[in-house]
Amino acid sequence: MSGHSHTAPPSDPELRIKALESLLVEKKLINPDAIDAIIETYETKIGPRNGARVVARAWVDPEYKARLLADGTKAIAELGFTGVQGEDMVVVENTDEVHNVVVCTLCSCYPWPTLGLPPVWYKAAPYRARVVSDPRGVLLEFGTRLSDDVEVRVWDSNAELRYLVLPQRPEGTEGWSEDRLAALVSRDSMIGTAVVPAQGAAS
């Protein structure tokens, strides 16, 4: 037996958050029940499956897609996705000529109603600092290699608009149902660090 049977103390950020939270509660600025309800909402109810529904609908319904690209906020609301950090949405479409990728260089702005809360790497300085100046290099680290013929279009969302990437519908999905298509759409493909891979038997 080693002598280390005690529990390690919490990390500094964890302690800081606990201190902040207890202060805010003591001063009655926040209500712990409300905080729990917010966390539960984004852990279990709102996440990238919402965005995947939007993408799948756009893939099967050209009129919906036209509305989505013309007024993202309104078209996303048609599927019931509205709210905090999705008040003013812009949807950008990947094509054979253009690949879009989204970042917030100044903080971590992200479209919550369609994608949920951002992944840790999206909030981290290395992604935010590098994807603007070397998007192809960063995408390669995500396993996404883009042809030199494709324009990489970076969207830095520091202002009040929030961006959702509409990935290209992959080959091998002709005739698929909306549900089956939605299951293919990854969170990262809607940020733009990934593409939706072609389906079907490897040949």
**Phi, psi dihedrals of residue 102, rounded to the nearest 5°:** -110, 140
Report whether 109 belongs to an annotated binding site. yes
Of residues 37, 66, 140, 183, which one binds another protein by CB under 8 A?
37
Q: Indicate if 11 belongs to the active site.
A: no
Give me the 127-166 binding string for another protein, x by CB under 8 A, dash otherwise: -----xx-xx-----------xxxxxxxxxxxxxx-----
Can you tell me the distance from the alpha carbon of 105 to that of 99, in angstroms, rounded to the nearest whole number?
19
Q: Indicate if 157 belongs to the active site.
A: no
Query: 45 or 180: whose CB is closer to another protein?
Result: 45
Residue among 2, 109, 133, 157 flagged as catalytic: 109
Give me the 45-84 binding string for another protein, x by CB under 8 A, dash otherwise: -x-----------------------------------xxx
CA atoms within 13 A on the CB side of 163: 22
**Contact between residue 165 and residue 188 where contact means Cβ atoms under 8 Å apart:** no
Query: 60 or 150: whose CB is closer to another protein?
Result: 150
Can you tell me the distance from the alpha carbon of 8 to that of 168, in angstroms, rounded to the nearest whole number?
47
Report whether 147 belongs to an annotated binding site. no
Choices 2-10, 29-37, 63-71, 180-188; region in contact with another protein by CB under 8 A: 29-37
The yes or no reply on residue 195 touching another protein (CB under 8 A) is: no
Residue among 5, 104, 133, 186 flagged as catalytic: 104
Residue type, 176: W
Report whether 2 belongs to an annotated binding site. no
The yes or no reply on residue 125 touching another protein (CB under 8 A) is: no
Q: Indicate if 22 belongs to the active site.
A: no
Residue among 2, 5, 11, 108 flagged as catalytic: 108
**How many residues does this entry show for the chain?**
203
Positions touching another protein (CB under 8 A) are 28-31, 33-34, 36-38, 41, 46, 82-88, 105-106, 132-133, 135-136, 148-161
